[in-house]
Amino acid sequence: MQNPALTERAKPFRLVKYFSLLSLVLIFVGTIILSMFNIHWIRAMQFEKSEAYALLLIENLNHQVFMQFILPVGLQFGKIELHNKDQFERMDSVVRSTLHSFKVDMVNIYGMRDVIAYSFSKELVGLENMGGTSFQNALEGRSSSRLIQKGGFWELLFGVPKEIKIVTFAPLKAEQPLTPVSGLVLGVVEIEQDLSDDYRSIFGFQIMTLVTVSGVMIILFLIMIIAVKRGESIIQKRAQEQLKLKEQLSRAKHLSSLGEMVAGVSHEIRNPLGIISSSAELLQKKIAADDPMNKIPAIIIEESSRLNNIITDFLNFAKPKTPHRFACRIEDVIDKNIRFLSTQTQTKGYVFHTHFDKVLPIIMADSDMLYQAFLNIFINAMQAMPDGGDIHIFAKTADDSLWIAVEDQGGGIPNESMEKIWDPFFTTKDKGTGLGLGIVKNIIEAHGGIVRMENRPEGGARLSIKLPVKEEL
């Protein structure tokens, strides 16, 4: 279940995320619309360019037809009769020679009464009323053009018809320098150009633009997703760190109050406990050795000693000491612990195995406090193996730190208890105060080190310690 505090902290970022994604979508849509307008503008420019090109062709054709056909034929025969085979062929020669290097599909020349007098297609010659409004405008001296598109519904919809042509009508005029009637309209010229290839190029450009825009938007979207996930991860991590710090602060306050209470109670218990222990020793001396009652003082002394050790643990945990650092070797501290526990290891079947680097650094530490910490660690490992077993101790130097690991062959620590083992008074054993590992943690951290516990894959537990190495003594 998600932590409500984390959810509450993530809300402002979610608003930023949604706003960013919405902005990206709007930019994408706006870019597509802008691209469509851009394509429309390009097509309009193409139409204007084609119309201007057609008018230039007509102007050139007008000059050539007038100079090479109308004027000579008029002077020679007195009138223009294109139904005459010779005149038609002469006209055809003039028109085709003028336009042979230009991309023109059809040329029609109309007489004054909307009759096609000349055409690239002989079938059209003689047809009447084919010019329509464009013809009438041309007679009045106004040129005009229109697009003719052929294709299916989807081809026309997406602007890529099978065939698209521009048809331009312009007046055929007498040349001003050679006629007393300036600019007299003699007929109408119709030119038809195929623009299919040009518009396919425009369509290709449109597709390329859309693909490019889509690609850029997809890349931005992916970058946005990565940035959003990264931001969410950072926010969640910081929120978790803050919650963890709050929990640690709360725990520290709780332990501080608990420590003060334990210290006060322990001092009050230790004084009468000392009287009880000394009185039991005195009573033991006065009772004869063969008296059955002699065992009672011994029991009192033993239990008083155990209770005193418990109180000592309470005080060590409640008020941890400040280390008095001086040069020491960790292997000497561990050897001292092993010698102290030798009586138990020999009688109960425990075997210590040390695996140390040949050269271990000298560290600045409180050897007495480290001795107490490792004593608790070894006793904890021995308690995990009631029937005896091997305890392996490793020590090496890495990353300017001294690493020590202690491994046992016990049953390990249940996963649900792994986070609680450092809590005071928590224990998985039938006996004990549950302060041993807490004292170890306090001592190691007081030396600027780190301690952690984990289960070994092959069985048992491993306690690892990292202590800083200080070269300056």
What digits encode the pLDDT tens for the residues 345-355?
888 889 999 99
* Average pLDDT across the chain, whole number: 80
Indicate the pLDDT class of residue 335, thresholds 50, 70 and 90.
Answer: very high
Domain boundaries, the chain: 4-194, 323-468
- Residue, of 282 and 181, whose pLDDT is higher: 282
Residue 316: what pLDDT?
62
Check: CB of residue 444 under 8 Å from CB of residue 373: yes
Structure tokens at 386: 């009631």
The CATH H-level superfamily of 4-194 is PAS domain (3.30.450.20)
Count of residues in the chain: 473
Indicate the pLDDT class of residue 306, thresholds 50, 70 and 90.
Answer: low
3-class state of residue 403 by DSSP:
strand
Closest to 363 in 3D by CA, of 335, 393, 339, 397: 397
Indicate the pLDDT class of residue 2, thresholds 50, 70 and 90.
Answer: very low
Rounded-to-integer distance, Cα 290 and Cα 140, Å: 151
Total H helices, total E strands in the chain: 11, 12
**Strands, E assignment, 87-213:** 106-110, 116-119, 144-150, 163-173, 185-194
Closest to 304 in 3D by CA, of 337, 336, 279, 340: 279
Residue 6: what pLDDT?
47
- Residue, of 271 and 167, whose pLDDT is higher: 167
- Residue, of 231 and 432, whose pLDDT is higher: 231
Rounded-to-integer distance, Cα 323 and Cα 332, Å: 18
Residue 317: what pLDDT?
62
Residue 109: what pLDDT?
92
Check: CB of residue 108 under 8 Å from CB of residue 119: yes
3-class state of residue 386 by DSSP:
coil
Residue 117 CB partners (closer than 8 Å, separation 6+): 82, 109, 110, 111, 125, 187
- Residue, of 128 and 414, whose pLDDT is higher: 128
Place of tokens 């190495």: 469
Amino acid occupying residue 292: P
Rounded-to-integer distance, Cα 310 and Cα 305, Å: 9
3-class state of residue 20 by DSSP:
helix
Q: Which fold has domain 323-468?
A: Heat Shock Protein 90 (3.30.565)
Does the pLDDT of residue 406 top 90, yes or no? yes
Rounded-to-integer distance, Cα 407 and Cα 168, Å: 97
Rounded-to-integer distance, Cα 341 and Cα 374, Å: 11
Does the pLDDT of residue 32 top 80, yes or no? no
pLDDT digits (tens, 9 = 90+) for 161-178: 778 888 999 998 887 654
Rounded-to-integer distance, Cα 126 and Cα 82, Å: 10
Check: CB of residue 311 under 8 Å from CB of residue 255: no
Q: Which of 70-79, 261-270, 322-331 has the highest mean pLDDT?
A: 322-331
3-class state of residue 467 by DSSP:
strand
pLDDT digits (tens, 9 = 90+) for 117-126: 899 988 888 8
Residue 37: what pLDDT?
76
Rounded-to-integer distance, Cα 60 and Cα 67, Å: 11
- Residue 78 per-residue DSSP state: S
Rounded-to-integer distance, Cα 419 and Cα 441, Å: 13
Does the pLDDT of residue 464 top 80, yes or no? yes
Check: CB of residue 107 under 8 Å from CB of residue 120: yes
